[in-house]
Structure 1
């Protein structure tokens, strides 16, 4: 029986979980009529089809590549993806894995479906985005909010004459509005955004979304209009389309881009004013005075203020709050959450050079328990080599069988030339030719196994780490060595222990094995995790 996997998806919170069950029910009925065996079902709830970064579809792809099923059945192609590149890539991967794609709408999917439906899906997403933006612009021009809610306001929920919800209405929340005015007054009086955030957190006043206050929540980015101090809605001016968001095709995350000022849509809403004009102007004047001005040292003043990136930048985490450890002075690191929000009690700091020396020492001796890592490497090497040998033996057997078939076909041809009636050899020759074609196809697509791993891989890893440590002292090789070390370390967790900071390294096991093998991305290491 054909082993079949079912997939279902709906894209927005406005839809229901029942949509998933309806899709799967129809797919099950179709599978039963076809006599297919259902192996498993996969689903993604309230996730857009514009990206493949969905847990359900990722599990489906992984299981397909493991050979768990022979066919994928779904309602329509756009359930799998609406992105042209993604659906084409998914089709190619499934075809390579020997897995067919069948939909209730299109039947068995071919290259023609991928081209046409992929284009239609992409156009659908663009049309949907355009319609959404038109609707939002219309609301803004009526003096209604075009996006999410801002701190200091409540969402007004009411229905129109047809019973439909009216969107975009806001009302001032007097409790939060008082906090907004206080922030503006404190900043105008000379307090820093960090000090204001600490004071609010110590008094137990919840920030936007109910979280803790941070400096960036208050000062934000004046150019992009983010942060409490830059929200023009507080002076009764609604600004929409200040920035747009573009999805990064590699990460699937949205990245903001500032729009030209000529494209901004501005509407006066005096009933939503919280901060008077004089106080707003004082804050803007102070922000302007703190802006970096031209300096003689460099054409770009930020170049002179920029701190150099240190070896472990971006890898340091606080063991108490899971926040980042960052520079609090030129050479001193501290918990950013404790310093900026005062919601973490980890006040222990550490010098950069001390931390780097400890981490480098740990890389050589304590990243993973030496005995356990050695045992793991031995077992890993043994298992990988066994599979490589089996793969090599299979390919060798195919070649040997192909040579034997060629000899038998030659003998059959010689027999026909010697006078044997062709009808007696026809069936046998057909079987041999079919098998020959099958073997040639298998050999054409088979990948030669890589070289066997050395059984002393753990020691190889240790010696290569020692070489990296020495390379850091040489200016010519420091940059390359630093990048190699950063690739091996997944996280450095700093946790207060008996009045001192305990340093715990978490390494990327796949990167370590690749490093020990001496390959950038060896296929045999795909799927190994971190520890």
Structure 2
């Protein structure tokens, strides 16, 4: 049996030896079984079990679906997740969908044993309650720190973080133990903040201010972030950083910390129904924790009041909550110059968001394109590139595979034939005993007919490969013609169809003054559409049709 091990620890205060200990316990468990061979190990270090966004965890799920191992060992089920729903979904994937075995070594849960569902469910609820209790304790501790004026998370432009260290105690890594973190004004950044407020007070818009800052090569707040991928707009200012949202006090121009007022506990994060994304929700003002710190003031009160008055008059900046994509190509069009999205800049036209919000210093691509023209040209190009002999051959290949899999699924269960045989034997025995009635005869005829049907189905060669698909070319043409042709009600599905086929569409300004779209027909995208059930298969009757 091929065995894999998954280990995880969540706190930076835990050492990497926690992973080694989990490995050791699982390895000892596997050694006590004959013919168990460990073929893979997965580990996520310092990542919470409340999230499924764990690289090794995701890779483990991919490998499990590909049947690269037969059994997964974990120290206990909480290593998989602290979320009871996530644990249950993972258990179902392993047992019901992939036919694999899942074992929690220390908590005694083995999916091969009867009643493991109950044990897994109880354990999942206990783990989730642990998260709830942990969140409460963390909230109480952060509240105490907020009331003391210490930083409880997040960074504000214009300030540095100063750790307060314990004079003698050390952490798990041998470094001085940090008791709290306080803010201190950064003189260089504070000067930029004052300049931003003065420019806005003098009539400049957030976009004009962002362009001015970018021209002067002043690093933005995001310039200090440790990003894995650096785009052309990395470290530059955007108008959204300045104006933010007035009601939620986001954005530099709305943040009361610049007058020495620190607000904590304004928002709470709600996990969505899909258990993957969280969304912020504003708390009632009565729950906000507000503390005054005159030593943190950067902006004079009269300047602050004038700026806030103008902000309230500029209603277009009052709310900038992100909206769901509205059109077919929304979130698919990318600027080849600065890698920003192309967004609707009028009711009819797409334009580069980087040029709009960061200015020509960051992105010189000021060209716009009609929404209807972009959809027409890009869909026409996509359909043309896909309707080739290569695409048709792949269509036939994947359709044949799906049809063969469906036929294999239709093969009757041998236990059904045994059940009918037993039923016929019982009826025959009753007849020999003298019990012969019209009902007995009718039931015998039905059972014999069912036996004949099951025998014919079993004799068919389920693994036979279909070599000829009726009207394959016409069906393939119809599938391509339907790409992107959905009503507004089903627009998200149409957008995902296009995304699966081309990914992102890059728009580059040409010397002649028009935009060039770079896209190629991605046949792997077509395979994704087939595998996701976009191809309707009709297997009724005696033949297979698509």
Relative distance call for 1:468 and 1:89 in structure 2 (3 A) is closer
Match of 2:27 in 1: 28
Task: State how far apart, in whole Å, the 2-side matches of 1:204 and 1:56 are.
Answer: 39
CA contact (8 A) 2:483 2:498 kept: no
The answer to whether structure 1 residue 479 and structure 2 residue 488 are counterparts is yes
Q: Across the two proteins, how many residue pairs are aligned to each other?
A: 467
Equivalent residue for 1:336, pick from 332, 349, 353: 353
Match of 1:371 in 2: 389
Task: State how far apart, in whole Å, the 1-side matches of 2:131 and 2:94 are.
Answer: 24
CA contact (8 A) 1:102 1:108 kept: yes
Q: TM-score, normalised by structure 1?
A: 0.78
Task: State how far apart, in whole Å, the 1-side matches of 2:265 and 2:473 are.
Answer: 55
CA contact (8 A) 1:145 1:238 kept: no
Match of 2:83 in 1: 83
CA contact (8 A) 2:395 2:476 kept: no
* 1:334, distance to aligned residue in structure 2 (A): 1.6
Match of 2:140 in 1: 134
Equivalent residue for 2:303, pick from 273, 279, 287: 279
Match of 1:503 in 2: 517
Task: State how far apart, in whole Å, the 2-side matches of 1:456 and 1:466 are.
Answer: 16
Match of 2:195 in 1: 182
* 1:455, distance to aligned residue in structure 2 (A): 5.7
Q: How does 1:294-305 map to 2 (within 5 A)?
A: none
Match of 1:222 in 2: 246
Relative distance call for 1:313 and 1:77 in structure 2 (3 A) is same
Match of 2:376 in 1: 357
| Deviations 1:309-363, CA, capped at 9 Å, x for gaps | 4432232212233210012334232211122224233333222232122123224
Equivalent residue for 1:263, pick from 276, 287, 292: 287
CA contact (8 A) 1:237 1:266 kept: yes
* 1:399, distance to aligned residue in structure 2 (A): 6.5
Relative distance call for 1:123 and 1:483 in structure 2 (3 A) is closer
Relative distance call for 1:345 and 1:232 in structure 2 (3 A) is same
Deviates more, 1:102-111 or 1:203-212: 102-111
Task: State how far apart, in whole Å, the 1-side matches of 2:25 and 2:399 are.
Answer: 46
Equivalent residue for 1:235, pick from 244, 259, 262: 259
Q: How does 1:198-213 map to 2 (within 5 A)?
A: 198-210=211-223, 211-213=235-237
| Deviations 1:400-425, CA, capped at 9 Å, x for gaps | 97489759988xx99xx9xxxxxxxx
Relative distance call for 1:39 and 1:487 in structure 2 (3 A) is same
The answer to whether structure 1 residue 347 and structure 2 residue 346 are counterparts is no
Task: State how far apart, in whole Å, the 1-side matches of 2:166 and 2:368 are.
Answer: 58
Task: Report the 3-state secondary structure (helix = DSSP H, G, I; strand = E; otherwise coil) of the residue aligned with 2:339.
Answer: coil
Relative distance call for 1:92 and 1:482 in structure 2 (3 A) is closer
Relative distance call for 1:20 and 1:478 in structure 2 (3 A) is same
* 1:234, distance to aligned residue in structure 2 (A): 0.6
Match of 1:108 in 2: 109
Match of 1:73 in 2: 73
Task: Report the 3-state secondary structure (helix = DSSP H, G, I; strand = E; otherwise coil) of the residue aligned with 1:166.
Answer: strand
Task: Report the 3-state secondary structure (helix = DSSP H, G, I; strand = E; otherwise coil) of the residue aligned with 2:11.
Answer: coil
Task: Report the 3-state secondary structure (helix = DSSP H, G, I; strand = E; otherwise coil) of the residue aligned with 2:268.
Answer: strand
Relative distance call for 1:188 and 1:452 in structure 2 (3 A) is farther
* 1:157, distance to aligned residue in structure 2 (A): 2.3
Relative distance call for 1:408 and 1:354 in structure 2 (3 A) is closer
CA contact (8 A) 1:461 1:515 kept: no
Equivalent residue for 2:402, pick from 372, 384, 390: 384
Match of 2:440 in 1: none
Equivalent residue for 2:338, pick from 321, 327, 335: 321
Task: State how far apart, in whole Å, the 1-side matches of 2:13 and 2:182 are.
Answer: 20
CA contact (8 A) 2:403 2:537 kept: no
Task: State how far apart, in whole Å, the 2-side matches of 1:381 and 1:22 are.
Answer: 48
Equivalent residue for 1:518, pick from 536, 539, 544: 536
* 1:45, distance to aligned residue in structure 2 (A): 2.5
Task: State how far apart, in whole Å, the 2-side matches of 1:328 and 1:83 are.
Answer: 41
* 1:80, distance to aligned residue in structure 2 (A): 0.9
* 1:216, distance to aligned residue in structure 2 (A): 0.7
* 1:207, distance to aligned residue in structure 2 (A): 0.8
| Deviations 1:8-27, CA, capped at 9 Å, x for gaps | 11123443444323322321
Deviates more, 1:77-86 or 1:256-265: 77-86
CA contact (8 A) 1:194 1:215 kept: yes
Relative distance call for 1:409 and 1:68 in structure 2 (3 A) is farther
The answer to whether structure 1 residue 494 and structure 2 residue 507 are counterparts is yes
| Deviations 1:128-167, CA, capped at 9 Å, x for gaps | 1111111111111112122212111111123134433132
Equivalent residue for 2:315, pick from 254, 274, 291: 291
After the TM superposition, which segments of 4 or more aligned residues of structure 1 sit over 6 Å from their partners?
407-410
Task: Report the 3-state secondary structure (helix = DSSP H, G, I; strand = E; otherwise coil) of the residue aligned with 1:90.
Answer: helix
CA contact (8 A) 1:388 1:452 kept: no
Task: State how far apart, in whole Å, the 2-side matches of 1:6 and 1:32 are.
Answer: 13
| Deviations 1:437-478, CA, capped at 9 Å, x for gaps | xx9xxx9xxxxx9x9995655542422554678xx7xxxx84
Q: How does 1:42-53 map to 2 (within 5 A)?
A: 42-53=42-53
* 1:196, distance to aligned residue in structure 2 (A): 0.6
CA contact (8 A) 2:387 2:477 kept: no
CA contact (8 A) 1:100 1:108 kept: no
Q: TM-score, normalised by structure 2?
A: 0.76
CA contact (8 A) 1:460 1:516 kept: no
Task: State how far apart, in whole Å, the 2-side matches of 1:487 and 1:202 are.
Answer: 38
Match of 2:18 in 1: 19
Deviates more, 1:174-183 or 1:27-36: 27-36
Relative distance call for 1:195 and 1:111 in structure 2 (3 A) is same
Task: State how far apart, in whole Å, the 2-side matches of 1:51 and 1:207 are.
Answer: 30
Question: Structure 1: which 5+ runs fail to align?
Answer: 294-300, 418-438, 444-448, 521-531
